[in-house]
Structure 1
Amino acid sequence: MNAARWLVQALAAEGVDTLFGYPGGAIMPFYDALYGSGLKHVLVRHEQGAAFAANGYARASGRVGVCVATSGPGASNLVTGIADAMLDSVPMVVITGQAPTALMGTDAFQELDVFGMTLPIVKHSFLVRRVDDLPRMLAEAFRIARSGRPGPVLIDLPKDVQVGDAAHLPAHAPLPVDAVAPPTYAWLHAALALLSQASQPVIYGGGGIALGDAVAAFRTFVDATQIPTVLTLRGLGALAATHPLNLGMLGMHGSRAANLAVQEADLLIVVGARFDDRATGKLAEFAPNARVVHLDLDACEIGKLRHAHVGVCGDIRHTLTTLTLPCAAHLHGRHGAARRDWRATCQQRAREHAARYDAPGDTVYAPALLKRLSELAPAAIVSCDVGQHQMWVAQHWRFDDPRKHLTSGALGAMGFGLPAAIGAQLQQPGAQVVCVSGDGSFLMNVQELATLRRYGLPVKIVLLDNQALGMVRQWQELFFDRRYSEVDLSDNPDFGAIAAAFGVQALHVDRADAVEDALRHLLAAPGPALLHVAIDQAANVWPLVPPNRNNAEMLDATSAATPTAEDSRHALPA
């Protein structure tokens, strides 16, 4: 019983059934211990794929995702996936091999200070120098990853520690997750006082709703209060897209109804959101007349970017449950008529500014294709890459569960979609999993088609190909005087041939009248399949809030607004 074999048994005791990785010299004892064990190891074709697959596994389930790599380049290839997990609060435990302790600090072969490299992008790091430290460190790693605001934890494991004698170590005992103390009730009266004075309240929900297992409580709160609701990118699905009070996503590519509601609100009830710059636009002009009640598990988020008149730090589910009945009772009092008029105004705007799908011409209109796919696969888990297609999915897919929308939100990492879809499919083998990608993003981790094929995973890939880095091209068009610098992808490979070379069935569509049949054939295909969709290179994502503007100043395809030089200085693609 060496430490590597003890670690394999301990992972099983923590409830780990699947892990993602790629072997190498410094982690070889661990892989030897995996041989014949009950753990399912998924061999990806690049370590970044391992980190993103563990990430997708965790996002789809709320469980801890686990990935493994060797030292040096193996560990450094995990960094982007670790950073993504940190910024989007995804629970992960990352295990890396390391040079033997006697050689650490000598520039040994494939030695890299991954502990130091990852300090800013993990909740905690452990460097295991002695076998006897392993039980405490492993238990702490899983406890920290799960507790409070979730996130990634690194365990760096030198090779000599892995082969050290562990016969004396006790069987692993997982530590309980830290209990979240409920907030005191002093805040309740202050929140109710603000609500009783509000005539134009808006609920602003974010990714913390799903992280706090508070979806049911959030929906009950919305139904009880009948307050118009907007959602962030990672909050989508917390309230069903078809709910009459759901005004859609707010922010840079949000709906006009959502952004106007927030800008005119006199009270924001913020639930598990962090006032991200993509949601707020020009922060100094965001919701200028609104007082704020901010509910969040993380005390650091309350007041960080916007003053909270009432800040409630604690378990969101508990807070919402406590708040629901008193809020509903207060809403029948003063300003009740004004609130009803406000609700009617918001809903009327949502109808007036609803997306249209009757685009002229014979070419494929991506929003219409995605909206139709969401109707044909309403229960699907959708994994997105980053770019125009990511925003089209957010705008036009009808999500009913936030854990069915896997997207790299804060980091915006291209190459996320396919490996995250692999992780989600392995976590839920019976689910319909769809990866929506773009021609730029797809090639960043295209090698994971081999992983799809090896494990027979029935992931369906929709590849929107406009032969350009679409979002960068759009911003260069709007804010950089059409100086199209390094966005041309007209020399893309034959994606169908690539898929076929990996043994993945490929379909193609380039006409609007063929979309229905193509989508049905894709969903009916046994095993993994790719639908290559040719779309217009000039297609843009609308609406759009220009940089350094408030959310009411939205551009659309017919807008006469002309971006200024000031805009271009602040321009950063979504």
Structure 2
Amino acid sequence: MNTAEALIKLLEDDSVKHIFGHPGEQILPFYKALKGSSIEHILTRHEQGAAHAADAYARSSGNYGLCISTAGPGAMNLVMGVTTAFKDSVPLLVITGDNDYSKKDEDIFQNSPINSVFENITIKSFHPSSGKSAIFNLIEALVMLHKYPKGPVHINLSKDVLLEGIDFDDVDLNGIIDSFDHDIFEGIDSNLEIFDEKISSFDDFHELVNIFDDHFIYYGGKLVFRDDFTKNFNSFSKNNASDVDNNINLAIDKFKLSRKPLVVVGNGIVWGKAIDKLSTFVSKTWVPIATTFHSKGIISESDKLNLGIVGLRGTSLANYAYENSDCILVLGAR
């Protein structure tokens, strides 16, 4: 099995169904591996279209989107769509092909500073130097897409790395942890016993994600141990739980007593997979809804309670309601 085939296997195990892209020479090993997989490739006429399509897929599905291109101009054509996703905190996995890693500093055909460009418009940009590091980087990227504040993650895959043979027996969790960017860790020893085990296959990627669920929590921009988090914050939680409950009850009371209530909803409802709950809330309360620009369509535009977008480029009705409401409940927006 080569690296490209192993990467496809990981994506399949993470339930990836669609990839938007446009092929080219340096990414062909990935396309060859993709041919026999369960993942549907959607061919676009231009790489920018692939990035925008993946962005739209993520926004509409609540899952991350995936776009792919070859090196040089192919990668650069993704920039506009990836930038859009970055500014709007939309999760994308961005894969680009590149010339052989051994020739990355040479002045050869279609060589360009791909990672230097993408590191400014993504949460993280990887350029693995070997098949094993490519596996590690993809796993880290997928964990980031599932766990981190939302946004694009980029992996630049050199052609020789994609063709390199990979042995799953050499892949262990300690190696994966060692490969992670340790700026996101908070005093974590990478040689912990909980990670002292081998991965014999990637038949169920979610088993690996579950390991992170069991032992880590993302807090304050860092990955911290759940046990440490519990020890350090239990007293805080106990002391403040009553205050939180009181604040919630106070907000509910104010909302019930208001004469001109308004609910403003944002795209956090989509990422939180709470659209059905929002619909139930609307049907039970009959409170008018205004949406942010990015959550337009979260409830039917024909719904009588949907006042439309509020704020810049908003509807006159939504803005009037916003300005004159005596109690505004904001859900999933910042």
TM-score interval, normalised by the smaller of the two chains: 0.7 to 0.9
Specify the alignment match of 1:546 in structure 2.
none
Letter in 2 for 1:147: K
| Residues in 2 aligned to 1:41 and 1:245: alpha-carbon distance in whole angstroms | 39
Specify the alignment match of 1:233 in structure 2.
293
Go from structure 1 to structure 2 and tell me whether the alpha carbon gap of 1:228 and 1:5 turns closer, same or farther (over 3 Å shift).
closer
**Structure 2 runs not aligned, ≥5 long:** 172-199, 220-236
Letter in 1 for 2:308: G
Specify the alignment match of 1:261 in structure 2.
321
Go from structure 1 to structure 2 and tell me whether the alpha carbon gap of 1:51 and 1:208 turns closer, same or farther (over 3 Å shift).
same
User: Retained in 2: the 8 A contact 1:10–1:171?
Assistant: no
Counterpart secondary structure, 1:137: helix
Specify the alignment match of 1:82 in structure 2.
82
Counterpart secondary structure, 2:93: strand
Asked whether 1:41 is paired with 2:101, we answer no
Asked whether 1:65 is paired with 2:65, we answer yes
The correspondence of residues 313-462 of structure 1 with structure 2, limited to 5 A, is none
| Residues in 1 aligned to 2:295 and 2:48: alpha-carbon distance in whole angstroms | 25
Letter in 2 for 1:141: A
Normalising by the residue count of structure 1, what TM-score does the alignment of the two structures yield?
0.44
Counterpart secondary structure, 2:264: strand
| Residues in 2 aligned to 1:69 and 1:241: alpha-carbon distance in whole angstroms | 35
Asked whether 1:247 is paired with 2:307, we answer yes
How many percent identity over aligned positions?
A: 36
User: Retained in 2: the 8 A contact 1:123–1:145?
Assistant: no
1:186 is matched with which residue: 235, 240, 243? Answer: 243
Go from structure 1 to structure 2 and tell me whether the alpha carbon gap of 1:238 and 1:43 turns closer, same or farther (over 3 Å shift).
closer
Letter in 2 for 1:259: N
The Cα of 1:80 is off from its aligned counterpart by 1.1
The Cα of 1:224 is off from its aligned counterpart by 4.5
| Residues in 2 aligned to 1:72 and 1:162: alpha-carbon distance in whole angstroms | 17
The Cα of 1:180 is off from its aligned counterpart by 8.0
**Structure 1 runs not aligned, ≥5 long:** 275-574
Asked whether 1:208 is paired with 2:265, we answer no
Q: Deviations over 1:167-190 (max 9, x none)?
A: 345533344376789995633422
The Cα of 1:247 is off from its aligned counterpart by 2.5
Residues matched between the structures, number: 274
| Residues in 2 aligned to 1:180 and 1:214: alpha-carbon distance in whole angstroms | 21
| Residues in 2 aligned to 1:190 and 1:125: alpha-carbon distance in whole angstroms | 41
Q: Deviations over 1:200-229 (max 9, x none)?
A: 432111111112111122233344444332
The Cα of 1:192 is off from its aligned counterpart by 3.4
Specify the alignment match of 1:156 in structure 2.
156
Counterpart secondary structure, 1:239: coil
| Residues in 2 aligned to 1:211 and 1:255: alpha-carbon distance in whole angstroms | 25
Letter in 2 for 1:209: I
Letter in 1 for 2:39: L
| Residues in 2 aligned to 1:222 and 1:36: alpha-carbon distance in whole angstroms | 45
| Residues in 2 aligned to 1:264 and 1:120: alpha-carbon distance in whole angstroms | 41
User: Retained in 2: the 8 A contact 1:20–1:44?
Assistant: yes
The structure with the greater share of residues assigned to helix is 2
Go from structure 1 to structure 2 and tell me whether the alpha carbon gap of 1:41 and 1:87 turns closer, same or farther (over 3 Å shift).
same
User: Retained in 1: the 8 A contact 2:262–2:329?
Assistant: yes
| Residues in 1 aligned to 2:310 and 2:37: alpha-carbon distance in whole angstroms | 47
The Cα of 1:48 is off from its aligned counterpart by 1.0
Go from structure 1 to structure 2 and tell me whether the alpha carbon gap of 1:101 and 1:148 turns closer, same or farther (over 3 Å shift).
closer
Go from structure 1 to structure 2 and tell me whether the alpha carbon gap of 1:253 and 1:39 turns closer, same or farther (over 3 Å shift).
closer
Letter in 1 for 2:246: H
Normalising by the residue count of structure 2, what TM-score does the alignment of the two structures yield?
0.72
Go from structure 1 to structure 2 and tell me whether the alpha carbon gap of 1:220 and 1:41 turns closer, same or farther (over 3 Å shift).
closer
Counterpart secondary structure, 1:20: strand
Specify the alignment match of 1:126 in structure 2.
126
Segment of structure 1 superposing worse, 60-69 or 179-188:
179-188
Specify the alignment match of 1:109 in structure 2.
109
Go from structure 1 to structure 2 and tell me whether the alpha carbon gap of 1:3 and 1:184 turns closer, same or farther (over 3 Å shift).
farther
Go from structure 1 to structure 2 and tell me whether the alpha carbon gap of 1:236 and 1:34 turns closer, same or farther (over 3 Å shift).
closer
User: Retained in 2: the 8 A contact 1:195–1:267?
Assistant: no
User: Retained in 2: the 8 A contact 1:18–1:42?
Assistant: yes
User: Retained in 2: the 8 A contact 1:194–1:267?
Assistant: no
Q: Deviations over 1:299-318 (max 9, x none)?
A: xxxxxxxxxxxxxxxxxxxx
The correspondence of residues 513-532 of structure 1 with structure 2, limited to 5 A, is none
Q: Deviations over 1:267-290 (max 9, x none)?
A: 32111123xxxxxxxxxxxxxxxx
Specify the alignment match of 2:27 in structure 1.
27
Letter in 2 for 1:272: G
2:330 is matched with which residue: 257, 270, 274? Answer: 270
Counterpart secondary structure, 1:129: coil
Counterpart secondary structure, 2:133: helix
Tell me the C-alpha RMSD between the 2 structures: 2.8
